[in-house]
Amino acid sequence: MIQLFPLLLYLLKASFFSTGGLSNITSLQQDLIGRHWATIDDFNHSIAISQVIPGPNGLWVLSLGYLIYGYIGAALALVSVILPPLLVLVIDGIYREVKPHPWVKGALRGISLAIVAILLNVCWSILQRPSFDQRAWLIAGGAFLLMMTRRVNILAILGLAALVGLLVYR
Amino acid sequence: MQNLPATSRPSVWKLFFLWGGIGLQSFGGGASTMFLIQQTFIEKYAFITREEFLHFFSLCAFTPGINIVALTILIGRKLGGALGILVSILGLLVPSATITCLCVVLFAMVQHAPVVQAILHGVVPATAGVMFVVGLGFVKPLFERRREEGWPWFLACLLMIAACALAIILFNLSVIPVLLAAALLGIVIFRSQRINPEDVPPISPVAPINREQGGK
């Protein structure tokens, strides 16, 4: 029997100890599968769905909530997605207080460089997928060039990529 | 980083529709969302500057949960105070969340179909291309700073990006220790640098006004 309040707490815990949308997966798997409230298939389906529908990747947890407990589960998941990032207001407040120190500027500059590296790593991890062949390189390169023109809507680019995938890989 | 004055703020509805548009168009996850945020708020409407965006995102890296939600909160506050935060989050998440719920049952039935697999095969590499453009957007201020600061600082920055990327890719380090190490290295490297006068925030006259606006 699934209890709603503990479910909300598990969702919040996973969100609170994660950075970025998908790093809450492990924590939720341990808690929810361990209690037989969800199956590994629920997780796989939710994550796959988040890849094809619009919105931040982190919304995968809404699908999980729905599969576990219908619309109430999805609503709890939505709460768990919104609450932890609100801490950014506290962090911003702290930053405003300590900002005059030169070391804060240095630290933030260092972090902004690390973020570039983290974004590069996301590209790299996609390039490392076993299904990434020469055709995939062409699609990635084409998407890059279309993006750089700044004239083509991103939805059109991804739609085109879907069409190419349909024609090439089927 | 003061909030926009009331006169130049977008209306509540406009803000809602801007974020709703971003939420509904951002296929492929965080990469396209970030690109659309840059395109909408920096390039199209010039509500925030590129440097500000980078600053917001640095704060979001410390924040638990989805970074893009935290980014939405900061931009929403700048564009409309507390109401702006509420409207921006609802605009970003509610349309997408609705579609997510509608799709979840349907998708579970069709996801193993070869057609769906073929479509995913095309979309995922394109996401890599999009992500690379987003990364370039972050590097742009570096090139602009090179003119003021000169080559040694620029090379130091590139080295640090390379070191962080290698630490994540080769040594499989998780993101949080890399961010902490980068912060410490940043203190060591950039502390000695003279602070650019325009970077120093105007403290006395602006801050109190700012606080009033933030409370609305």
Kindly report, residue by residue over A138-168, the tens digit of the pLDDT. 888 998 999 888 777 777 888 888 899 888 8
Q: How confident is the model at residue B73 (pLDDT cuts 50, 70, 90)?
A: very high
Q: What is the distance between the alpha carbons of residues B16 and B13, in angstroms, rounded to a whole number? A: 5
Q: Searching chain A, which residue's CA lies closest to the CA of residue B201?
A: A100
- Beta carbons of B187 and A91 less than 8 Å apart: no
Q: How confident is the model at residue B57 (pLDDT cuts 50, 70, 90)?
A: confident
pLDDT of residue B151: 82
| Å between A35 CA and nearest CA of chain B | 23
Give the residue carrying structure tokens 């298939």. Answer: A41
Nearest to A140 among B103, B125, B178 (CB): B125
- Beta carbons of A53 and B24 less than 8 Å apart: no
**Is residue B191 over pLDDT 80?**
no
A residues 4-43 lying closer than 8 A (beta carbon) to B: 15-21, 23-24
Neighbours of B43 (CB within 10 A): 11
A170: chain B residues, CB-CB within 8 Å: 114-115, 118
CB contact at 8 A, A135 and A141 = no
Q: What is the distance between the alpha carbons of residues A121 and A109, in angstroms, rounded to a whole number? A: 19
Q: What is the distance between the alpha carbons of residues A20 and A6, in angstroms, rounded to a whole number? A: 23
Work out how many CB contacts closer than 8 A connect A with B. Answer: 354
Q: What is the distance between the alpha carbons of residues B39 and B46, in angstroms, rounded to a whole number? A: 9
B residues 104-163 lying closer than 8 A (beta carbon) to A: 104, 107-108, 111, 114-135, 138-139, 157, 160-163
Q: Searching chain A, which residue's CA lies closest to the CA of residue B180?
A: A111
Per the model's pLDDT, the better-predicted residue between B60 and A16 turns out to be B60
Helix (H, G, I), strand (E, B) or coil at A34: helix
pLDDT of residue B212: 32
pLDDT of residue A102: 77
What CA–CA distances, in Å, run from B112 to B109, B115, B119, B182?
8, 8, 11, 42
**Is residue B78 over pLDDT 80?**
yes
Smallest CA-to-CA distance from A103 within B165, B185, B130, B30 is with: B185
**Is residue B211 over pLDDT 90?**
no
- Beta carbons of B179 and A114 less than 8 Å apart: yes
pLDDT of residue B1: 52
- Beta carbons of A119 and B64 less than 8 Å apart: no
Q: What is the distance between the alpha carbons of residues B70 and B214, in angstroms, rounded to a whole number? A: 16
Q: Which residues contact A110 (CB under 8 A, 6 or more apart)?
A: B160, B182, B183, B184, B185, B186, B187, B189, B190
Q: Searching chain A, which residue's CA lies closest to the CA of residue B125?
A: A140
* Top-ranked range on mean pLDDT: pick from A37-41, A53-57, A76-80, A118-122: A76-80
Global pTM reads 0.68
How many C-alpha atoms does A144 have within 13 Å on its Cβ side? 16
A residues 40-59 lying closer than 8 A (beta carbon) to B: 45-46, 48-59
Per the model's pLDDT, the better-predicted residue between B152 and A6 turns out to be A6
ipTM of the complex model:
0.72
A residues 87-116 lying closer than 8 A (beta carbon) to B: 87-89, 91-92, 95-96, 99-100, 102-103, 105-116
pLDDT of residue B210: 32
Neighbours of B148 (CB within 10 A): 9
**Is residue B207 over pLDDT 50?**
no
Exposed / middle / buried, residue A137 (Cβ in 10 Å: 0-12, 13-18, 19+): middle
- Beta carbons of A164 and B59 less than 8 Å apart: no
Q: What is the distance between the alpha carbons of residues A69 and A7, in angstroms, rounded to a whole number? A: 10
Q: What is the distance between the alpha carbons of residues A53 and B148, in angstroms, rounded to a whole number? A: 43
pLDDT of residue A6: 92
What is the residue-wise DSSP string for B74-108?
Answer: HHHHHHHHHHHHHHHHHHHHHHHHHHHHHHHHHHH
User: Cβ of B23 under 8 Å from any chain A Cβ?
Assistant: yes
Please write the tens of the pLDDT for every residue from B7-26.
677 888 999 999 999 988 87
- % of chain B residues with pLDDT over 70: 82
Amino acid at B6: A
